[in-house]
Amino acid sequence: MAKGKKYTDAAKRFDHDQLFTPAEAVELAKGMGTASFDESIELTIRLGVDPRKADQIVRGTVALPSGTGKNVRVAVFANGEAADQARAAGADHVGGDDLAALVEGGMLDFDVAIATPDLMPLVGKLGRVLGPRGLMPNPKTGTVTTDVAKAVGEFKGGKVEYRTDRYGNVQVPIGKVSFELAALNLNFRAVLDEIQRAKPASAKGRYLRKISLSPTMGPSVKIDTNRLKVLDSDA
């Protein structure tokens, strides 16, 4: 696929084969955000796991201390008092059968779906719609809970989900190009610490295989996995 002029110009600014410290990579990625909108900075980590094995799927959530820089739209499947609490917490869509019918009809105007345990049989029927988009509520990510107000607040405040794809990659946005470098570094560290904490016991060999950062419309900057501790002194 042909690349635009801005992408090509950005790609000329650094050696693509060079490995950078996390702080250097963050600064480079931020500087290459030249689109007309506030681009996200994406962290991509290639893990030494086999996602075909259930015990090696790396999945969870991480709270970004500097937030995500975006308005996270939250849908909550709940009834009664829980539904009232979700609305009070700022959920964008709240309901039971009515919300399920809207989703079944193609309404997917949300980034996170949360459900109370009693409504999971209903939500489970939406698997073919929510599943492929990574929106199915799951207890492991805190999106199946009785405390929906807390969950809404956390995701609105910067909590994000992560999960290995079929190639063993994890992609997590660590903020926006408009963020200060210190804020991006804090988010990078938080994600890295969480991914390391989530290492499956059955994973063998080198766990952090490849790490890179890139703005939405720009090239990737490779990070030297042997120099990750440099961020501890820089952040």
Q: Which residues of 145-160 are buried (b: 16+ CB within 10 A; e: fewer)?
A: beebbebbebbbebbb
Tokens of 61: 């959530």
pTM: 0.80
**Rounded distance, CA 157 to CA 146, Å?**
19
pLDDT single digits (tens) 203-235? 888 999 999 999 998 889 999 998 775 333 333
Beta bridge partners of 41: 215
Q: Residue 60 and residue 197: Cα distance in Å, rounded?
A: 11
Query: pLDDT tens, 69-83?
Result: 989 999 999 999 999
- Other Cβ atoms within 10 Å of 104 Cβ, number: 12
pLDDT at 24 over 90: yes
Which residue, 17, 49, 60, is CA-closest to 208? 49
Residue 116 and residue 77 in contact, taking contact as beta carbons nearer than 8 Å: yes
The domains located in the chain, with CATH, are 5-68+159-234 (3.30.190.20), 74-156 (3.40.50.790)
Please give the angle made by the CA atoms of 155, 81 and 135, to the nearest 5 degrees.
35
